[in-house]
A and B are shown apart, each in its own frame.
Chain A
Amino acid sequence: MKRYITGVFLLVGIAFLIVGCGNQNEHLAKGKELIKSDKRRKEERAVHEFKLAIEQEKDNAEAHYLLGFYDSQDFYELNEPEWNQASIAQRGQHMFKAYQQKPREYLEILVFDTLRDDDVDVQNAALEALTLVYQKGERKLLLNQLEKAIKSKDNRDRHDAQWVMANIGRSDPNTMVPILVELLEHKQMGTRLNAVKALGEIGSEEAIPVLAALIDSGSARRVRDREVAEVRQLAVAALGKIGGKAVPELVKITQNKGSSLRVDAIRALSSLGDEKAVQPLLDALNEKSSREIVVELGN
């Protein structure tokens, strides 16, 4: 009896599997086929297939991902329902649905592939999806992937991760700023560079002391304590983006006469428009020009 029941279950299971696969494959496979082809308006037609695939199987991860990836408002008339559905936000939603079905797989794809696409709309849709992951999904998993990307050997990964971290960090600096600050200690220069950039983009005043210390490290006693010039230069720009309480730090940098970063600091102050910058700038104008000066040694 038991064996009989097991057998029935098995059969039913196999039947479902076959039917399931068949349904899924039909439109999804057709859509994928179209993308690979060189047919006219292939993306537009493929998108149509992906929509049908989702109608049949609303939780199909791949169909959702591909719809999010390929859909475009260019395919539709302005303001018709499908045009609205092809917005960046909606495309991001589809990518997020793919993630919900297969979190690990699609998180990796989103961070390391989708963000790298040449199409800015695709990048923005991926950002939208990743923001949803941050808000509703497994935040920890996402942060791990982003950290992995910003520590990658590939500059494009680092840059993409920086962009996402900056965007997420703007709405939740309390989580992101400490992570980025920690990355400033990373051994790879490109990672530190991108962490500095992201801190500037986030604009949180919390980052001011660490950035200031990093800039200051150029005069450190020991060579190994000195941050490289490129990172320090970007840190000055980051302070400029933060503005507000960063002004006194920027003023201090304009007064370090042994550094070229004074010029970067002056430029940053110039666009911040803060009154506190005026007197130090006037002082800089009074500095001595190049000259020769004879010192009597009295010996």
Chain B
Amino acid sequence: MHKKILLIFIYVGVLLTLGCDNVYYDERLHIEVKRLDSDLENRWSTSGVVVNSIAVNGAAEKADLSTGELISYVIGEYPIYSSADFSRAVKKAMDDDNNMLLYLKNKQPLRIATRKSGDKVGIVVEGDDPVRIKNIIAGTPAANSKNIQIGDIVEKIVDERKIQGLKDYQKTIDEFATQNASVTLRTTELIGVKIAAVTALGNLGDARAVDALIDILKNNRDLALRKAAARSLERLVALSELSDLFQHFQQENVNQLPADMLDRSQLESAEILGLLLVDRTANTATLEAPFGIQFRHRSEALHQKVNEGKLVELTEQYIQKDTEPDQEIRRACLSILGVLRPTSAIDPLSKVLRDKDEIPGIRFQAGLGLSHIGEPAADALIAVFNEADATAKDIAASALGNIGGTVARDFLINALDTTDDPAIQLTLVDAIAKIGDESSLSALDRQRQRFQEDDSAIRIFIDEVFSRIRTPQE
């Protein structure tokens, strides 16, 4: 008698422990699944189970399921060979979620949903193999769908079950597995995980991230993730440019150096990126903990990786509108080229600059990129000025002014003689003034004579240029 009671206790005990266990071994798929942590339900209203482990050579392994995947739906099929099959399948599929997919021969699958459980779907069928639609009842979901016609052959009904937890999973798999040769699992990727990882990799400044980010930009289909990857690459490139600065600290193995022995503009960039604190009165530059200190060990490797060539090749493609439809990504790529300044980018950048359908801001950024490349880009800019539309002329003239040098200067001076468009004349004057050597100034002086009679904006502007130049001398 006592033994019996004890046995019952043990039995109940075992049942209870099983009931609130957080893993379940599924003998049909040969996987162990795990309950989600409650935070996930509260935060992203996600439901399902996570694959904890997969048995070697089991059904799931053969199907290439991975551990860590989150199963949020289990999808089963009911093949329809008889009218009885049909009514049984509808009943089962509509149970729970009042929702099913109807597959009719030679038609797209149709989703049929009723408002509440117990409502009629509204389809009457006849015959065995094939089962045909005999009647559609007015006022039902089936009647609202224009794609269902009398005489259509019903092939199968598909039931997508949302998985709420372990028990739900167990029940659903058991049910589907007894009548199907296969089940389909729909997995959900956690929104935000990869975006957070991509953003973090941009911050960490590690060379190993470059290839992975390039891969995402090229091959991933999720736009938000690609944008994040472009931003992270942009940041890595900006970080890599500071390699020289960080090498000073690394070589001396210190975290603080006198500010005046370091490059001023690099110091400013590092300050903006939050890696360094500059105290001008005490003349110190101190690496910020923890990131600045960590980064000095990594900067050299990152610089090499970024300048390996892959990134240039990628961004030269992805600044083009026909390759990359998203403007944020195009901008990020332009900014990367603006920093890396490869001469191979001259043609792709000119192409963007010439593109009449491109956003003016992006064309401007392409012009800026060309002026960063400097004198090697002068010929391309001259060609753009001669051949492209007014916007491109304007940007090209200004870029040539930034580049300077005799080729650019002589071209600009000559262009000012031959151009009639007043807006472009102004840009040309500004560009020539920026070069500001003797020939430039005498050319502008000559133009002043030419526009002497005129009360045009151009003469006023030239006067202004001269007064600006003379004031500091006097």
Asked if A pairs with B, the answer is yes
Q: Chain A interface (Cβ within 8 Å of chain B)?
A: 218-223, 226, 228-229, 232-233, 243, 254, 256-263, 266-267, 269-275, 277-279, 281-282, 284-285, 287-299
Which of A243, A257, A290, A296 meets B59, CB within 8 Å?
A296
Given A262-B190, A263-B196, 10 more A-B residue pairs with CB atoms under 8 Å apart are: A219-B22, A257-B70, A258-B40, A269-B200, A284-B194, A285-B198, A285-B201, A292-B187, A294-B183, A297-B28
Tell me the complex Cα distance, A263–B43, Å.
11
Which of A220, A222, A284, A292 meets B185, CB within 8 Å?
A292
Note all chain B residues with C-beta closer than 8 A to A274.
290, 294
Q: Chain B interface (Cβ within 8 Å of chain A)?
A: 17, 20-22, 28-29, 34-40, 42-44, 46, 50, 59-60, 62-66, 68-70, 75, 177, 180-190, 192-194, 196-201, 203-206, 208-209, 212, 216, 221-222, 290-291, 294-295, 297-298
Note all chain A residues with C-beta closer than 8 A to B181.
296-299
Write the nearest CB–CB distance from A216 to chain B, whole angstroms.
9
Which of A260, A292, A295 meets B39, CB within 8 Å?
A260
Q: Which 6 A-B residue pairings sit nearest by Cβ, starting from the closest?
A: A270-B200, A229-B39, A273-B291, A218-B37, A258-B50, A257-B68
Write the nearest CB–CB distance from A266 to chain B, whole angstroms.
4
Note all chain B residues with C-beta closer than 8 A to A275.
204, 206, 294, 297-298
Residue of B nearest to A265 (CB): B196
Which of B17, B60, B192, B216 meets A263, CB within 8 Å?
B192
Note all chain B residues with C-beta closer than 8 A to A284.
193-194, 197
Contact B43 A289 (CB under 8 A): no
Note all chain A residues with C-beta closer than 8 A to B62.
295-296
Residue from B43, B60, B200 whose CB has the most chain A CB atoms within 10 Å: B200
Residue from A226, A258, A288 whose CB has the most chain B CB atoms within 10 Å: A258
Note all chain B residues with C-beta closer than 8 A to A243.
290
Residue of A nearest to B229 (CB): A285
Write the nearest CB–CB distance from A256 to chain B, whole angstroms.
7
Residue of B nearest to A258 (CB): B50
Note all chain A residues with C-beta closer than 8 A to B206.
275, 278
Contact B28 A282 (CB under 8 A): no
Tell me the complex Cα distance, A40–B17, Å.
72
Note all chain B residues with C-beta closer than 8 A to A297.
28-29, 59, 177, 180-183
Contact A298 B198 (CB under 8 A): no
Which of B22, B182, B190, B209 meets A294, CB within 8 Å?
B182
Tell me the complex Cα distance, A218–B197, Å.
22
The 22 sampled A-B contact pairs (Cβ below 8 Å) are A219-B35, A226-B38, A232-B37, A232-B39, A233-B39, A259-B37, A259-B40, A260-B40, A261-B39, A263-B192, A272-B291, A275-B298, A278-B206, A292-B185, A293-B64, A294-B183, A294-B184, A295-B60, A295-B65, A295-B184, A295-B185, A296-B181
Contact A258 B37 (CB under 8 A): yes
User: A232-B39, A260-B40, A297-B183 given as contacts; is B188 within 8 A of A290 (CB)?
Assistant: yes
Contact B65 A293 (CB under 8 A): yes
Write the nearest CB–CB distance from A248 to chain B, whole angstroms.
15
Which of B35, B37, B203, B209 meets A273, CB within 8 Å?
B203
Contact A259 B36 (CB under 8 A): yes
Contact B35 A296 (CB under 8 A): no
Tell me the complex Cα distance, A129–B397, Å.
67
Note all chain B residues with C-beta closer than 8 A to A278.
201, 204, 206, 208-209
Residue of A nearest to B61 (CB): A295
Write the nearest CB–CB distance from A242 to chain B, whole angstroms.
12
Note all chain A residues with C-beta closer than 8 A to B182.
294-297
Note all chain B residues with C-beta closer than 8 A to A291.
186-187
Tell me the complex Cα distance, A279–B182, Å.
36
Residue from B21, B177, B194 whose CB has the most chain A CB atoms within 10 Å: B194
Note all chain A residues with C-beta closer than 8 A to B297.
275
Contact B37 A260 (CB under 8 A): yes
User: A266-B200, A273-B203 given as contacts; is B38 within 8 A of A218 (CB)?
Assistant: yes
Write the nearest CB–CB distance from B191 to chain A, whole angstroms.
9
Contact A221 B36 (CB under 8 A): no
Contact A271 B291 (CB under 8 A): yes
Tell me the complex Cα distance, A274–B205, Å.
10
Tell me the complex Cα distance, A269–B35, Å.
26
Note all chain A residues with C-beta closer than 8 A to B59.
295-298
Tell me the complex Cα distance, A93–B316, Å.
65
Write the nearest CB–CB distance from B305 to chain A, whole angstroms.
13
Contact A292 B290 (CB under 8 A): no
Residue of A nearest to B221 (CB): A289
Residue from A220, A257, A262 whose CB has the most chain B CB atoms within 10 Å: A257
User: A270-B204, A275-B298, A297-B59 given as contacts; is B189 within 8 A of A261 (CB)?
Assistant: no
Note all chain A residues with C-beta closer than 8 A to B75.
292
Note all chain A residues with C-beta closer than 8 A to B44.
260
Contact A299 B193 (CB under 8 A): no
Write the nearest CB–CB distance from B286 to chain A, whole angstroms.
15
Tell me the complex Cα distance, A261–B39, Å.
8
Write the nearest CB–CB distance from B200 to chain A, whole angstroms.
3
Tell me the complex Cα distance, A289–B205, Å.
25
Tell me the complex Cα distance, A213–B461, Å.
72
Note all chain A residues with C-beta closer than 8 A to B21.
221
Tell me the complex Cα distance, A232–B290, Å.
25
Tell me the complex Cα distance, A274–B297, Å.
11
Which of A233, A272, A289, A294 meets B222, CB within 8 Å?
A289
User: A285-B212, A293-B184, A297-B183 given as contacts; is B200 within 8 A of A258 (CB)?
Assistant: no
Note all chain A residues with C-beta closer than 8 A to B35.
219, 258
Contact B209 A223 (CB under 8 A): no
Contact B295 A270 (CB under 8 A): no
Residue of A nearest to B293 (CB): A273
Contact B63 A293 (CB under 8 A): yes
Tell me the complex Cα distance, A258–B69, Å.
9
User: A219-B37, A287-B68 given as contacts; is B177 within 8 A of A266 (CB)?
Assistant: no
Note all chain B residues with C-beta closer than 8 A to A294.
63, 182-184
Residue of A nearest to B191 (CB): A263
Note all chain B residues with C-beta closer than 8 A to A299.
177, 181
Tell me the complex Cα distance, A261–B194, Å.
13
Note all chain B residues with C-beta closer than 8 A to A296.
59, 62-63, 181-182
Tell me the complex Cα distance, A257–B50, Å.
7
Contact A285 B187 (CB under 8 A): no
Which of B22, B43, B186, B221 meets A229, CB within 8 Å?
B43
User: A277-B200, A278-B208 given as contacts; is B22 within 8 A of A260 (CB)?
Assistant: no
Tell me the complex Cα distance, A295–B185, Å.
8
Write the nearest CB–CB distance from A145 to chain B, whole angstroms.
33
Write the nearest CB–CB distance from A8 to chain B, whole angstroms.
69
Tell me the complex Cα distance, A96–B188, Å.
58
Contact B187 A287 (CB under 8 A): no
Which of A266, A281, A285, A295 meets B63, CB within 8 Å?
A295
Write the nearest CB–CB distance from A287 to chain B, whole angstroms.
6
